[in-house]
Amino acid sequence: MEDELLKTIIAQGNSIKELLDSQKDSSNSRFTYFAATSLASTALGALLAYIVGHFSHKRHLKPESAKSFIKLLSNFEDQCLEYWSKDHDPKESLIEEAKIKAGHKQLRLYAEYGNFGLKKADKERLEKSISQLFDEATGGNFESKKRKASRTRTQKIAMITSRISPLLIEKSFE
C-alpha cells in the first residue's frame, strides 16, 4: 500500500516536473517570439524612418537647388546688365569682366550637376540657354577697349534669363 502510494506520489511528481518543463519551454518560446517580433518591429521602423527621411530630403533638395540657381542667375543678369549698360572703363571693367566669367562658370556647372528634377528636354533647354548666355554676356567687344554700351545686348541677356527662370521657378515651389 505504502509502495503504491509512494509510486503514485513519484508519478505525480514526474508529471508536475514534465508540466513545469513544458511550461518553461513554452515560456522560452514566447520570450523568443516576443524578442524577435520586437527586433523586427524596431528594424522595420528604422527602415521606414530612413526611407521617409531619404525621400523627404531628396524632395527638399530639388526646390533648394532650383532656388539657389535662380539666385545665381539673377546676380549674373545684374552683373551683365551693369557691365553692358556703360562703355569700357579702365578701372571697373576688369573687375566686372572677371565676375561675369566666374559667374557664368558657376551657372554652367550648377546647370550640369545641380539636382533640379528637370525632364531631359527641359535640362537640354536650360543648357542651351546657358550657352547662349555665354555668347551674349562675353561676346562682341567684351574685354575690349573698344567696347561701347549695348542696348541690344542688355535686352538679349534679359530675354535669355527670362526664358531660363520659368524652367526652374516651378521646381522651386515643389
Partner 1 sequence: MKSINVGKEFSDHPIGRYREDGPESGQVFREDHLIPTLKKLKANEKLEIILDDGVEGYGSSFLVEAFAGVVRVGFMKSEDLLGLLTFKYSDDDFSFFEHKIKEYISEASYGATKESK
Helix (H, G, I), strand (E, B) or coil at 162: helix
Site membership for partner 1, residue 138 (CB under 8 A): yes
Contact flag: residue 92 with partner 1 (CB under 8 A): no
CA 14, CA 22: separation in Å to the nearest integer? 12
> What is the sign of the dihedral through the CA atoms of 29, 30, 33 and 38?
negative
Q: Residues 6 or more apart from 69 whose CB is under 8 A from it?
A: 107, 110, 111, 114, 116, 168
Comparison of 28 and 144: residue with beta carbon closer to partner 1: 144
Contact 71, 43 (CB under 8 A): no
142 is a contact residue toward partner 1 (CB under 8 A) = yes
Give me Rg for the CA atoms of the chain: 37
Query: Which of residues 107 and 168 has its CB atom nearest to partner 1 in the complex?
Result: 107
| String of contacts with partner 1 for each residue 97-136, x by CB under 8 A | x---xx--x--xx---------------------x--xx-
Pick the closer one to partner 1 by CB: 75 or 106: 106
Q: Does the footprint of partner 1 cover residue 139 (CB under 8 A)? A: yes
Q: Which is nearer to partner 1, 70 or 130 (CB)?
A: 130
Query: Which parts of this chain interact with partner 1 (CB under 8 A)?
Result: 97, 101-102, 105, 108-109, 131, 134-135, 137-146
